[in-house]
Amino acid sequence: MNLGLRWDYETPSYERFDRMVQSLDFNAASPIAAQAAGLNLKGAVRFANTAGAPRGSFQPDRNNFAPRFGAAYRLGEKWVIRGGYGLFYMGQSATGSNQGYSQRTNAIVTVNDLTPAVTLANAFTNQAGGRLLNAVGNAEGAASFLGQGLAVNWQNRPLPYSHQYSFDIQRELRGGVLVEAAYVGNLLNKLPVNSNANFIPAAELGRRTATGAIDNAYYNAQVPNPMRGLIPNNAALNGATITRQTLLFTFPQYTPLTINNLPIGKQRYDSFQLKASKRFSAGLTFLASFTGAKTLEQVSFLNIQDFNVATPGNSVLVKQSADQIDIPRKFNLAAVWQLPIGRGKPVASNINKVADFFIGGWEMNVNMTYMTGSNIAYPNAAQVTPGSAALENPSIAKYFNTDLWINPATSRVVSAQEPFTLRNFPLRFSDVRIPGYQNWDASISKMFPIHERLKAQFRFEGVNAMNHPWFTGIASVDVTNGAFGRLNPVQGNLPRFLKLGLNLQF
């Protein structure tokens, strides 16, 4: 029995800058709150290394203890069982924004589109004072970037970590073949999630008119603007009136406000893995593997209103199949076979050299992959008829059952989700996937001995030899689009092509 134990103490690196937007103080009163009658505005920009703020772009995470251990036990002559566990921390590359410290100056090179208005001596002569625009930096302090889009980091951001564990059984068979069956799992926590913090509260959504229609006029109505004259950099926020929906935002003084690297995401991977391999002998070697797996993730909001700005850890994320990486089944085979024909081989071992020049030295190679497709996005409307949208024999024209979105009363496809309402249907299908991937790469080669150290090799190769096209997307999942439910007939893999080659080896 073998037993291994290891532990690591990982301290992540983090950026230190004096010139960057570090974060937003969400609880601080906005610098314009006292002047904006009727609004209790919150949110003030924090700059690194100013007003007591640290220089780092986020709070460093220094308590990352990463134990790992594994064990192997031999059961008899040809059986071995193994197991292991490890805690791993994932790196992150994220810095604060350089907004305010980076200023672009456009050169006005002509005023009539015909005559040059500047010279090489000063391409910015038409700017005020004939100078480059100065960077604002943090001169405006907490009142910086009012009326502009702002992206900030969540400060208390521990590193994502991964629990990885496995258990497998190995058995050696005759002919140098090794078979292995295993369970492999991976549980990820604290994955970074980004979100817009400006949205209409859920309690304010769904307002309807007497006829039952969404009252768009209510949300889009122009109302007196309590921020009038306080946000000169954005005319839409600075005028005498403003749309009502804007005043419903949590931070209406920013458009938008994006919070990055919220440590609230999760992902889970569970799989059964079967592998068979053969050491090279008798002219044959191969490696075959099959994986049955499920990958679920929680990194998306069904509705932006599910984001809890005050306590992100209490936010509600959708648990769904992971995008593109949730592949339920996959089979691979890679093999090399030297044909047993020719001098010194089981067949025609005593053939003369002239005949062996033609029939000996042949080799075949194959690399084969079969796998199911990843899931696709759900349409932008709820089904009228319940049930699975998966079809037994999908076609390009109708890849999933679009009849589930037909209103029986009108015999027409339903409308898209109404504005100013909450989504009550999934983000992705659980059982409708893009077509599976099937690919054969194969070759046959012949070695021609010329001299003791000089050989020539002829190769005939086929990439995607079976010419299986792989369509990787849906034309549209928009119920208002004429291509709704159609498969996008654009091939995502290489078409079949054949190659001939002659190599000289010495």
pLDDT by residue for the chain (506 residues), tens digit each? 566 565 555 544 445 556 677 788 888 888 777 667 677 888 888 888 887 777 777 788 888 889 999 999 999 889 999 999 999 998 776 777 788 888 777 777 777 777 777 777 777 777 777 777 778 888 888 888 899 999 888 888 889 999 999 999 999 999 889 999 999 999 999 999 999 999 999 999 999 999 999 999 999 999 999 999 989 889 999 999 999 999 999 899 998 899 999 999 999 999 999 999 999 988 899 999 999 999 999 999 999 999 999 899 999 999 999 988 999 999 999 999 999 988 888 888 888 888 888 888 899 999 999 999 999 999 999 999 999 999 999 999 999 999 999 999 999 999 999 999 999 999 999 899 999 999 999 999 998 888 778 888 899 999 999 999 999 999 999 999 999 999 999 999 999 999 999 888 88
Backbone angles phi, psi at 221, to 5 degrees: -65, 145
Contacts of 129 (CB under 8 A, 6+ apart): none
All structural domains of the chain with their residue ranges: 107-136
d(CA 85, CA 3): 12
Residue for token pair 């012949």: 446
Nearest partner of 43 among 198, 158, 246, judged by Cα: 198
- Can you say how many angstroms the Cα of residue 498 is from the centroid of all Cα atoms in its chain? 34
Backbone angles phi, psi at 238, to 5 degrees: -105, -10
Output the six-digit token pair for 28.
């601080």
Q: Give strand pairing partners of 503.
A: 457
- Look at residue 17 in the predicted model and tell me its pLDDT: 58
Single-letter amino acid code for the residue at 25: D
- Look at residue 155 in the predicted model and tell me its pLDDT: 85
Taking CA 228 as the corner, what is the angle to CA 225 and CA 229, rounded to the nearest 5 degrees?
170
Three-class DSSP labels, 320-346 = EECCCCCCCEEEEEEEEEECCECCCCC
Residue 488 region, left (φ>0) first, then alpha (ψ -120 to 50), else beta? beta
- Look at residue 2 in the predicted model and tell me its pLDDT: 62
- Look at residue 12 in the predicted model and tell me its pLDDT: 47
Output the six-digit token pair for 341.
């024909």
CB 152 within 8 A of CB 142: no
- Look at residue 404 in the predicted model and tell me its pLDDT: 96
Residue for token pair 């990055």: 260
Burial zone of 487 (CB within 10 Å; 0-12 exposed, 13-18 middle, 19+ buried): buried
- For CA atoms 136, 138, 143, 149, give the dihedral sign: positive
Three-class DSSP labels, 412-423 = EECCCCCCCCCC
d(CA 8, CA 119): 61
d(CA 221, CA 215): 10
- Look at residue 139 in the predicted model and tell me its pLDDT: 83
- Look at residue 112 in the predicted model and tell me its pLDDT: 76
